[in-house]
A and B are shown apart, each in its own frame.
Chain A
Amino acid sequence: MVIQASNSTVMKNRTFSVLINPGQAPPQAGRRDFLKQSSLLTALALTPSTVLQAAETVLGTEGSPTAENIPVVIEINGTSRSLSVEPRVSLLDLLREQLDMTGTKKGCDYGQCGACTVHVDGQRVLACLSLAVMMQGKQVTTIEGLAEGPERLHPMQEAFIKHDGFQCGYCTPGQIMSAVGCLREGHADTEAEIREYMSGNICRCGAYSNIIAAIEEVKKGGQKV
Chain B
Amino acid sequence: MINFRYVRPTTRQACVTALVSDPTAQFIAGGTNLIDLMKRGVTAPEKVVDINALTLRSIDKQGSGIRIGALALNSAVADHPMIRQQQPLLTQALNAGASAQIRNMATMGGNMLQRTRCHYFYDTALPCNKREPGSGCGALEGFNRIHAIFGTSDRDPKTACIAVHPSDMCVALVALDATVLVTGPNGERRIPFVDFHRLPGNTPERDTNLERGELILAIDVPDNAFARHTHYLKVRDRNSYAFALVSVAAALDLSNSTIRDARLAMGGVAHKPWRLLDAEKALVGKPATEATFRQAADIAMQGAKAFEHNAFKIRMAPSSIVEALKTAARPA
- Shortest B118–chain A CB gap in Å is 10
Binary CB contact string for chain A from 186 to 220 against chain B (1 if under 8 A, 0 otherwise) = 01000000011111110000000000000000000
Q: Which of A134, A178, A196, A201 has the most CB atoms of chain B within a 10 A radius of its CB?
A: A134
Q: Does A20 contact B (CB under 8 A)?
A: yes
Contact call A61/B241, Cβ cutoff below 8 A: no
Contact call B1/A126, Cβ cutoff below 8 A: no
Q: A6-B119, A61-B18 are in contact. Are A133 and B6 (CB under 8 A)?
A: yes
Binary CB contact string for chain A from 58 to 74 against chain B (1 if under 8 A, 0 otherwise) = 11111111110010000
Residues of A within 8 A of B119 (CB): 5-6
Report which of B17, B28, B102, B146 forms a contact with A2, defined as CB distance below 8 A.
Answer: B146
- Shortest B323–chain A CB gap in Å is 19
The docked-state distance in angstroms from the alpha carbon of A2 to that of B240 is 12
Q: A111-B32, A199-B239 are in contact. Are A58 and B7 (CB under 8 A)?
A: yes
The docked-state distance in angstroms from the alpha carbon of A6 to that of B104 is 23
Q: Which of B1, B146, B243 has the most CB atoms of chain A within a 10 A radius of its CB?
A: B1
Q: A6-B119, A131-B35, A197-B100 are in contact. Are A64 and B237 (CB under 8 A)?
A: no
Contact call B104/A87, Cβ cutoff below 8 A: no
The docked-state distance in angstroms from the alpha carbon of A199 to that of B102 is 11
The docked-state distance in angstroms from the alpha carbon of A6 to that of B242 is 12
Q: Does A13 contact B (CB under 8 A)?
A: yes
Contact call B145/A63, Cβ cutoff below 8 A: no
The docked-state distance in angstroms from the alpha carbon of A178 to that of B101 is 8
Contact call A1/B6, Cβ cutoff below 8 A: no
The docked-state distance in angstroms from the alpha carbon of A135 to that of B145 is 39
Q: Which of B6, B79, B143 has the most CB atoms of chain A within a 10 A radius of its CB?
A: B6
Tell me the nearest residue of chain A to B73, going by C-beta: A123
The docked-state distance in angstroms from the alpha carbon of A58 to that of B122 is 31
Residues of A within 8 A of B50 (CB): 134
Report which of A1, A20, A65, A110 forms a contact with B237, defined as CB distance below 8 A.
Answer: A1
Q: Does A158 contact B (CB under 8 A)?
A: no
Report which of A61, A67, A182 forms a contact with B100, defined as CB distance below 8 A.
Answer: A182
Q: A9-B123, A129-B36, A131-B31 are in contact. Are A20 and B146 (CB under 8 A)?
A: no
Residues of B within 8 A of A178 (CB): 100-101
Contacts of B160-181 to chain A: CB distance below 8 A: none
Number of interface residues of A (CB under 8 A): 50
Residues of A within 8 A of B237 (CB): 1-2
Q: A61-B7, A61-B17 are in contact. Are A109 and B39 (CB under 8 A)?
A: yes
Tell me the nearest residue of chain B to A93, going by C-beta: B1
Residues of A within 8 A of B100 (CB): 124, 178, 181-182, 185, 187, 197-200
Q: Does A125 contact B (CB under 8 A)?
A: yes
Q: Chain B: residues with CB nearer than 8 A to chain A?
A: 1-10, 14, 17-18, 28, 31-32, 35-36, 38-41, 46-48, 50, 52-53, 75, 79, 95, 98-102, 104-105, 117, 119, 122-123, 143, 145-146, 237, 239-243
- The 17 sampled A-B contact pairs (Cβ below 8 Å) are A1-B237, A2-B242, A5-B143, A9-B40, A13-B40, A58-B8, A63-B18, A64-B5, A64-B7, A87-B5, A88-B4, A110-B36, A117-B101, A125-B105, A131-B28, A185-B79, A196-B95
Q: Chain A: residues with CB nearer than 8 A to chain B?
A: 1-3, 5-6, 9, 13, 17, 20, 58-67, 70, 86-88, 90, 109-111, 114, 117, 123-126, 129-131, 133-134, 178, 181-182, 185, 187, 195-201
5 closest A-B pairs (Cβ-Cβ)? A200-B99, A63-B7, A199-B240, A87-B6, A67-B3
